[in-house]
């Protein structure tokens, strides 16, 4: 739900202030980059990279029927989603809602009474400091499947909604990190273990010939 003028300037200032902590690789400011989709079947595609990926927009009951924002990302094979951080300064009414579904669409109807079909969800509240909500979303609740963190490579769709009267600014940081490589020692041990059957076979052949 894009808003121009003073709200656009406020959004830009808010996001730029967040960069004093860490520079983002991807920045999607709804009032600058375009209105996010309000249809879960055709979410806005946002390209993400390793590091911080900040998504900023507005939602709220006063913008009906555009009270929902949907977007989708693809986590590349060499990366994993390690954190989903509600950034300080995010606003919310009585109930801010953030849902996560595997795939490139949110297929749940807007009047769904359970979270069946979602990986996870969270009710977020206004915050003055950064909060990682991914661990809370990972816990199965009201029909969601739950998941283990970090999330591996694949497509993920996000659903943001606030049905409270008013207009509320939100900003979330999707943090991607490289998939950890096995330490050298572990690789060496794995290699040694793989040769054990061959060593045992050769030992057996040698001992049988000497008998």
Clarify whether residues 175 and 196 are in a common domain: no
Cα(45)–Cα(121) distance, integer angstroms: 20
What is the domain count for the chain? 2
| pLDDT exceeds cutoff 70 at 35 | yes
Q: Which residue has the tokens 């979270």?
A: 115
Say yes or no: 190 and 120 in one domain. no
3-state secondary structure of 156: strand
Phi then psi for residue 64, to 5 deg, are -50, 140
Report the pLDDT averaged over residues 182-192.
53
Is the domain of 161 the same as that of 195?
no
Lowest mean pLDDT among 8-22, 73-87, 173-187: 8-22
Tens digits of per-residue pLDDT, 88-130?
Answer: 999 999 889 999 999 999 999 999 999 999 999 999 999 999 9
Do 176 and 187 fall within a single domain? Answer: no
One domain for residues 128 and 208:
no
Euclidean distance between the first and the last CA atom of the chain, given in angstroms as a whole number: 84
1 in a structural domain: no
Residues 176 and 202 in one domain: no
Same domain, 158 and 203: no
* Alpha carbon separation from 185 to 22, 44, 199 (Å, rounded): 33, 43, 21
Q: Produce one character per residue of 69-96: b if its CB has 16 or more CB atoms within 10 Å, e if not.
A: bbbbbebeeebbbebbbbbbbbbbbeeb
**Per-residue model confidence as pLDDT tens digits over 48-73:** 999 999 999 999 987 665 689 999 99
- Residue 171, Cβ density class (10 Å: 0-12 exposed, 13-18 middle, ≥19 buried): buried
- Identify the domain containing residue 119 by its residue range: 6-180
Domain with residue 116: its CATH number is 2.60.120.380
Is the residue at 137 inside a domain? yes
Residue 22 falls inside a structural domain: yes
- Classify residue 59: in a domain, yes or no: yes
Residue 146, in any domain of the structure: yes
pLDDT at 62: 74
If asked whether residues 72 and 163 sit together in one domain, one would say yes
Q: Say yes or no: 26 and 125 in one domain.
A: yes
**Domain assignment of residue 75, yes or no:** yes
Q: Tell me what pLDDT residue 154 has.
A: 98
């Amino acid at each position: 739900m894009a808003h121009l003028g003073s709200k656009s300037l406020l959004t830009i200032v808010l996001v730029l202030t967040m960069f004093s902590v860490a520079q983002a690789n991807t920045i999607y400011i709804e009032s600058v980059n375009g209105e996010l989709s309000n249809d879960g079947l055709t979410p806005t595609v946002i390209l993400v990279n390793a590091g911080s990926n900040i998504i900023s927009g507005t939602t709220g009951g006063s913008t009906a029927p555009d009270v929902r924002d949907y977007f989708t990302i693809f986590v590349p094979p060499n990366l994993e989603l390690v954190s989903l951080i509600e950034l300080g300064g995010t606003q919310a009414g009585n109930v801010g809602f953030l849902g996560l579904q595997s795939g490139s669409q949110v297929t749940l109807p807007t009047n769904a009474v359970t979270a069946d079909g979602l990986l996870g969800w969270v009710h977020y509240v206004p915050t003055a400091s950064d909060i990682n909500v991914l661990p809370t979303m990972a816990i199965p609740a009201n029909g969601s499947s739950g998941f283990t963190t970090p999330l591996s490579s694949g497509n993920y769709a996000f659903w943001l909604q606030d049905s409270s009267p008013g207009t509320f600014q939100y900003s979330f940081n999707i943090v991607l990190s490289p998939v950890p490589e096995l330490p050298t020692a572990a690789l060496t041990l794995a290699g040694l273990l793989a040769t054990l059957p061959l060593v045992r076979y050769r030992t057996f052949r040698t001992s049988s010939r000497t008998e």
